C-alpha cells in the first residue's frame, strides 16, 4: 500500500512539472500563442502573399494594371 | 497493480501536453486588412539619380486558433535585393506607416499616403533608411479577391450587425435568411450563397456595406472605387471621397489627377456645408 502511495505522489509531481514546463516553453500560460509567435506567423503570411505577387507573370500584371 | 497505476498516471502529462502543442500549431491565418501592397521606386531627396526599386507588403493578418482570434499588423519591405521587416505598423484610412528593422535593429521608417490616379491607387510618401531619406512611390497591385474571401467579409459584417445586414439584403431584394433570428445557421447560409453568387445584388450590397465601414482596407477601397466609376450617387463614394480628401488636403496639387467622380462628390460635400460633410 505504501508503495502505491509513493508512486502516486511521485507521478503526480512529475505530471505537474511536465505540464507547466510544456505550456511555458511552447505557448502562453493557457496554450495561446505568445505575442512574438503571433507576429512571426503574421509576417510569414505577408511573405507568402508577396511571393504570390512575385509569381504573377508580366502578362498577368499588365492585365491587372491596364484592363 | 502498483506498476499499472504508475503507468496510467505517467501517461497523464503526455496526454495533457498533446492538445497544447497541437493548438499552438493549428493556426488559420489569412490577410484580413490590406494596406500598401505593390512595387515601386525610391528616389533620394538629396540626389535624384540615387534611386532603388521597392517591393512592399503591409497588412493586418487575422490569426485564428481554437481558442481565440486576433489581427496582427506587420509588413515586408524589399529595397533592391535587401529584405527588411516592418514593425509598429499603422494602417489608417488610405495611409500606412511603419518602422523598418534589419535583424532586430531599427534602420528606418516609412510613411505613405494613397491617392487615386484614374482608377489606380498610388502610394506616395517618405522612406528613411540607413540615414538616407527618399521619396517613395508604390503602385498598389489590386488583389483579385476570390469569392470565398469576399464572402468572409460578408459573414463578419452580418455577424457583427445582424439587423442592418437583414436591412441591406431587403433593400436590394428579399433576404437570403434572417441573420438575427436564425443565427449561425443563417450566417453560414449567406456565406455559402455569396461564395456561389458573388455578383448577386444582395451579396454585392453586403460587401459594399462592409467596405463602407472599413475604408482602411485597400481591397475595400478598390471595390468602392469600382462602384463609384459607374454610379457616383452610392453612399460608398462619399465615404471614399472623405478618405482621399484628407490626403489631398496635405498635397493639394495631387487633386488635379483624381477621377471625375471624386471631384463631383467633393463639390457636393463642400456645397452641403460642414454639418453634412462631417457626417460622411
pLDDT in tens, chain B (280 residues): 555 555 445 444 444 443 333 344 578 898 999 999 999 999 999 999 999 999 999 999 999 888 788 999 999 999 999 999 999 999 999 999 999 999 999 999 999 999 998 888 999 999 999 999 999 999 998 777 778 888 888 999 999 999 999 999 999 889 899 988 877 889 999 999 999 999 899 999 999 999 999 999 999 999 899 899 888 888 899 999 999 998 888 888 888 888 888 988 888 888 876 554 444 4
Q: Write the residue in B24, B27, B75 that is nearest to A26 by C-beta.
A: B24
Residue B263, by phi and psi: left (phi above 0), alpha (psi -120 to 50) or beta? alpha
A21 — pLDDT class (breaks 50, 70, 90): very low
In a shared domain, residues B161 and B96? no
Residues of B in contact with A22 (CB under 8 A): 13, 16-17, 20-21
Residue B3 domain-assigned? no
What's the confidence (pLDDT) of residue A11?
57
Residue B266 domain-assigned? no
In a shared domain, residues A51 and A61? yes
3-state secondary structure of B69: strand
Chain B interface test: which of A42, A54, A55, A65 (most B C-beta within 10 Å): A42
In a shared domain, residues A44 and A23? no
As given in the structure block, the three cell numbers for residue B38 are 505593390
In a shared domain, residues B196 and B115? no
Number of domains in chain A: 2
- For residue A35, pLDDT over 60 is answered with yes
- Asked if B55 lies within 8 A of A50 by C-beta distance, the reply is yes
Contact (CB, 8 A) for B266 and B245: yes
Residue B83 domain-assigned? yes
What's the confidence (pLDDT) of residue A27?
55
3-state secondary structure of B92: strand
In a shared domain, residues B186 and B129? no
Element (H, E) at B35: strand B28-44
What's the confidence (pLDDT) of residue B158?
94
What's the confidence (pLDDT) of residue B276?
46
In a shared domain, residues A61 and A41? yes
Residues of B in contact with A18 (CB under 8 A): 13-14, 16-17
The residue from B83, B108, B140 where one domain ends is B140
In a shared domain, residues A64 and A50? yes
ipTM > 0.85 for the complex: no
- For residue A40, pLDDT over 70 is answered with yes
Instruction: Say which residues have a Cβ less than 8 Å from residue A59's Cβ, sequence separation at least 6.
Output: none
In a shared domain, residues A25 and A50? no
Q: Write the residue in A8, A41, A46 that is nearest to B75 by C-beta.
A: A46
Cα–Cα distance list, B68 to B48, B157, B237 (Å): 48, 19, 35
In a shared domain, residues A43 and A60? yes
Number of domains in chain B: 2
In a shared domain, residues A23 and A45? no
Q: Write the residue in B6, B20, B73 that is nearest to A23 by C-beta.
A: B20
Print the domain residue range for B203.
147-254
In a shared domain, residues A56 and A26? no
In a shared domain, residues A41 and A67? yes
In a shared domain, residues A53 and A28? no
What's the confidence (pLDDT) of residue B278?
41
Cα–Cα distance list, B90 to B57, B86, B87, B205, B272 (Å): 13, 10, 9, 28, 32
In a shared domain, residues A4 and A14? yes
The residue from B140, B159, B181 where one domain ends is B140
Mark out chain B residues that contact chain A at CB-CB < 8 A. 1-2, 5-6, 9-10, 12-14, 16-17, 19-21, 23-24, 27, 29-31, 37-39, 55, 57-59, 61, 63, 65, 67-68, 70, 72-76, 85, 87, 120, 139, 141-142, 144
Burial track B17-49 (b if 16+ CB lie within 10 A, e otherwise): beebeebbeebebebbbbbbbbbbebeeeeeee
In a shared domain, residues B248 and B157? yes
CB-CB neighbours of B104 under 10 Å: 7
- For residue A8, pLDDT over 70 is answered with no
What's the confidence (pLDDT) of residue A55?
64
- For residue A37, pLDDT over 60 is answered with yes
What's the confidence (pLDDT) of residue A22?
38
- Asked if B29 lies within 8 A of A41 by C-beta distance, the reply is yes
What's the confidence (pLDDT) of residue B82?
96
Residue B242 domain-assigned? yes
Residue B16 domain-assigned? no
What's the confidence (pLDDT) of residue B41?
97
In a shared domain, residues A27 and A39? no
Amino acid at each position: 500500500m505504501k508503495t502505491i502511495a509513493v508512486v502516486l505522489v511521485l507521478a503526480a509531481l512529475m505530471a505537474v512539472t511536465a505540464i507547466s514546463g510544456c505550456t511555458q516553453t511552447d505557448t502562453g500560460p493557457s496554450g495561446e500563442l505568445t505575442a512574438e509567435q503571433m507576429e512571426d506567423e503574421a509576417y510569414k503570411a505577408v511573405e507568402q502573399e508577396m511571393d504570390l505577387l512575385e509569381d504573377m507573370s508580366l502578362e498577368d500584371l499588365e492585365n491587372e494594371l491596364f484592363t | 497493480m502498483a506498476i499499472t497505476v504508475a503507468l496510467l498516471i505517467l501517461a497523464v502529462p503526455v496526454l495533457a501536453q498533446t492538445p497544447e502543442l497541437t493548438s499552438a500549431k493549428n493556426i488559420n491565418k489569412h490577410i484580413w486588412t490590406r494596406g500598401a501592397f505593390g512595387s515601386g521606386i525610391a528616389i533620394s531627396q538629396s540626389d535624384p539619380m540615387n534611386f532603388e526599386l521597392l517591393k512592399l507588403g503591409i497588412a493586418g493578418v487575422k490569426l485564428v486558433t481554437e481558442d481565440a482570434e486576433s489581427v496582427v499588423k506587420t509588413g515586408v519591405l524589399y529595397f533592391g535585393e535587401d529584405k527588411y521587416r516592418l514593425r509598429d505598423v499603422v494602417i489608417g484610412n488610405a495611409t500606412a506607416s511603419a518602422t523598418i528593422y534589419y535583424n532586430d535593429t531599427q534602420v528606418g521608417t516609412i510613411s505613405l499616403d494613397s491617392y487615386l490616379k484614374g482608377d489606380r491607387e498610388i502610394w506616395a510618401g517618405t522612406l528613411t533608411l540607413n540615414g538616407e531619406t527618399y521619396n517613395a512611390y508604390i503602385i498598389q497591385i489590386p488583389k483579385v479577391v476570390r469569392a470565398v474571401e469576399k464572402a468572409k467579409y460578408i459573414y463578419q459584417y452580418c455577424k457583427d450587425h445582424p439587423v442592418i445586414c437583414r436591412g441591406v439584403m431587403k433593400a436590394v431584394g428579399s433576404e437570403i435568411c434572417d441573420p438575427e433570428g436564425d443565427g449561425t445557421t443563417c450566417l453560414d447560409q449567406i456565406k455559402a450563397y455569396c461564395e456561389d453568387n458573388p455578383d448577386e445584388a444582395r451579396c454585392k450590397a453586403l460587401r459594399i456595406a462592409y467596405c463602407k465601414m472599413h475604408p482602411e482596407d485597400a481591397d475595400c477601397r478598390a471595390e468602392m472605387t469600382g462602384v463609384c466609376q459607374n454610379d457616383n450617387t452610392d453612399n460608398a463614394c462619399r465615404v471614399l471621397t472623405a478618405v482621399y480628401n484628407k490626403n489631398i488636403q496635405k498635397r493639394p496639387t495631387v487633386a488635379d489627377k483624381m477621377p471625375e467622380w471624386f471631384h463631383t462628390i467633393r463639390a457636393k460635400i463642400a456645397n452641403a456645408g460642414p454639418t453634412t460633410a462631417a457626417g460622411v
